Chain A
Amino acid sequence: MIAKFGSSWLSVWLLLLGAVLSSCRSSDAGKTEAEPASGPSSAPAATSDAIKVGLIVPFSGPFASLGAQIEGGVKAYLDTHGGAIDGRKVELLVRDTTGLAPDVAKRLAQGLIVRDQVDFIAGFALTPNAMAVAPLATEAKKPMVIMNAATSSITTKSPYVVRVSLTLPQVTAPLATWALKNGIRNVYSLVSDYAPGADAEAQFKKTFEAGGGKVVAADKVPVNNPDFAPFIQRIKDAKPEAVFVFVPAGTQGIAFMKAARERGLTEAGIRIIATGDLTEDQQIDPMGDSALGVVTTHHYSAAHASPENEAFKAAFAKVAGTQLRPNFMAVGGYDGMAAIAAVVHRLGPGKIDGDKAIEAFKGLELSSPRGPIRIDPETRDVIQTVYVRKVEKRGDNYYNVEFEEYPAQKDPGK
């Protein structure tokens, strides 16, 4: 009995802690939902006319930063457009998938479609979550806007899926082409051991070897690899002209760059080429000097020089603060919302019809902060410019500076 009393004392502490934290979070979430819709107490006439968008992204767990970026992008768009499309209010319903959780994403999507009767479902930072929701989009005939998840096959899982972000093969192929053009003939491939890593490795090898290059060795590293030293040593021993790297955006990129710096990979004459995930904008500053000179290909850099990008960055800072530098995921959120707005505008007044909306997405063109983009009418996937960039220091910060471009790239993975 004494033990029982004691354990209830413990749970009181835990509950207290939990309550404090969840109250912080829920007040935050409440703000999130109310802001763009300018409060739930709006006139009923306006509400029936409102556009409801369900946003399914991770806000907690290891992928929390993806949610923060995407939500920031969506809100940046809404904020600059007065939270409305053609005078119709946009209600944003934000849901937290907690991370890599297909079952949770599916349940949240079901709730948004059935109970909240949203007009669009959007977000989807991670491929497995998007895959789990796609059948629901088909069943409910709801347009599903992918703002990040980059596995090539997602758009084939439902005729209601539209992607505004990127596919991994799309940004990998130009890198192989660029390497060939710059006299690199043999490359060591190093990718994370999961599906996107395999995609990147396969696409690089295909394009590179078709152009006369040779992938001398291909290593796969564990997805959560704490120390890259042994792999870097292997690369040094193999003496290739360059190493092609794909690791998921986050800690892994930093761990790789630091190990490469310590072991003097560049000094040994081995160039580092990678997809933009390695030097993604949010994590490039923590990498510091070790990332200088790395060449990557991607569709967006915060350093992209255009009035659209300047306006986007200012809008993002206004809604998400200046601490977080917007990256390609934030642009995915911004463009996804812009695409939804364009479709609503095309369809005109009245309730959104899923089939008509999907037709309106096809062939849609936007001038995005990353440059011009277009939705492929056949595949509903994004067609965009892929840039070759080099890491440079500007003031106290590090940026991917674009110096070459490959316009109108389709996804070669389909």
Chain B
Amino acid sequence: MASFFGIVFDGVAYGSLLFLISIGLSVTMGLMNIVNLAHGAFAMFGGYLSVWLGARGVPFLATLPVCFVALGLAGAACERLFYQRLRRRSQLDQVLFTIGFTFAAVAAATFVWGPAEQRVDLPAALRGQVQLFGVGLGAYRLFLIALVAVLSAGLVALVEKTTFGARVRAAVDDEHVSAGLGIPVERVFCLTFAFGSGLAGLGGALCIDVLGLEPTFALKYLVYFLLVVSVGGAGSLAGTAVASIVLGLFDVAGKYYVPEVGAFIIYGLMIVLLLVFPAGLYGRRT
């Protein structure tokens, strides 16, 4: 029983991790209809920024908001320079540009920081285990789960309840009518992209303790981002959250109970879910 509870906890924690690295992509891809394969590059730079600040004595938790803001600004710059031109283009153009951008980012990171693994120092409070119901739970995993709960609630409120969220949804649904109604479409898109990039940077910084950080980070986990977003339904924040937790739970349980096929379970589940829900769990059918 104790180990079952442990597996559920680990599954939810792993799901939280998947949520954190994918939520930025769900925002840019789902809300703005841009196939942003360079998402991993933003996450990676967020990670490097956190490590760089950490090496200069900034505590880990303090680096998180810095990563969010810095990558948000970088995202805004990229949106002005590149992405605004991509928005009305074919998806093939978007894929080609963003994957090229990712390769460039990987090469740049190798050039600047070298190919080696980076070191992260978590504060003592986040290391080790916390005893709960007789089971030792990883403190950092608890922290991730709590953070995901807060983040997803905040995001849902932002998109569903605020004027900004309403403007974003309107602008995505029909750019021209929205512009006619006086919504500053360009600025809304720029802000949304900046927000998604900021989330990517934050996710990157949070994930490096578990996933590690070296230049191929940007490509290595691309399949996980896409998996979560496609299963959850692009643009649906609740969908991303549910999909992350479901995939995380099944992956961990699969590896524990049937390790021989454990690695395949997450993909098998994706196939089944997409057959049943072709637009994703919470996807809008068009």
The chain A residues found within 8 Å of chain B, CB to CB, are 3, 6-7, 9-10, 13-14, 17-18, 21, 24-25, 60-62, 64-65, 68, 193, 219-222, 224-227, 229-231, 233-234, 237, 250-251, 254-255, 258, 261-264, 282-283, 285-286, 288, 323-324
Contacts and interface: CB of A to CB of B under 8 A. Distances in A.
B128 to A, nearest CB: 7
Interface of B: 3, 6-7, 10, 13-14, 17, 81-82, 85-86, 89-90, 93, 96-97, 100-101, 104, 107-108, 110-111, 114-121, 127-129, 136, 138-141, 209-212, 214-216, 220-221, 224, 251-256, 259-260, 262-263
A9 B116 contact: no
A68 B140 CA distance: 33
A288 B251 CA distance: 27
9 contacts: A10-B97, A65-B214, A219-B259, A225-B263, A230-B252, A233-B3, A250-B214, A282-B116, A283-B117
B100 to A, nearest CB: 5
B104 A230 contact: no
Q: Which of A18, A21, A219 has the most CB of B within 10 A?
A: A21
Identify whether the interface residues of A are mostly helix, strand, loop, or mixed. helix
A224 B3 CA distance: 25
Given A61-B216, A68-B114, A230 B10 contact: yes
Contact of B117 (A13, A229, A254, A323): A254
Nearest to A282: B116
B100 A17 contact: yes
A3 B89 CA distance: 8
A257 to B, nearest CB: 11
B243 to A, nearest CB: 16
Contacts of A21: 104, 107-108, 111
Nearest to A226: B211
A286 B85 contact: no
A282 B136 CA distance: 31
A10 B117 contact: no
A251 B256 contact: no
Contacts of A220: 259-260
Nearest to A217: B259
Contact of B128 (A9, A64, A193, A262): A262
B125 to A, nearest CB: 14
Contact of A250 (B96, B117, B121, B254): B117
Contact of B110 (A18, A64, A224, A263): A64
Contacts of A230: 7, 10, 252-256, 259, 262
B114 A262 contact: no
B100 A233 contact: no
A60 B117 CA distance: 15
A287 to B, nearest CB: 8
Contacts of B116: 65, 282-283, 324
Given A21-B108, A262-B129, A227 B210 contact: yes
A250 B211 CA distance: 11
A233 B256 contact: yes
B115 A64 contact: yes
Given A233-B10, A286-B117, 17 more contacts: A3-B90, A14-B101, A14-B104, A21-B107, A24-B111, A25-B111, A62-B216, A227-B210, A230-B255, A233-B6, A251-B117, A251-B214, A255-B210, A261-B127, A262-B138, A264-B128, A283-B116
B87 to A, nearest CB: 11
A259 B108 CA distance: 30
Contacts of A255: 210-212
A263 B210 CA distance: 13
Contact of B210 (A18, A25, A219, A258): A258
A3 B136 CA distance: 58
A13 B71 CA distance: 21
A26 to B, nearest CB: 12
Contacts of A224: 220
A326 to B, nearest CB: 12
B100 A14 contact: yes
Nearest to B129: A264
Contacts of A14: 97, 100-101, 104
Contacts of B82: 10, 13
A223 to B, nearest CB: 9
B141 A262 contact: yes
A229 B14 contact: yes
Contact of B114 (A61, A221, A234, A324): A324
B76 to A, nearest CB: 17
A109 B145 CA distance: 51
Contacts of A227: 10, 14, 17, 210, 251-252
A285 B55 CA distance: 13
Nearest to A9: B85
A288 to B, nearest CB: 7
Contacts of B7: 230, 233
A10 B81 CA distance: 10
Contacts of A225: 263
B256 A258 contact: no
B1 to A, nearest CB: 12
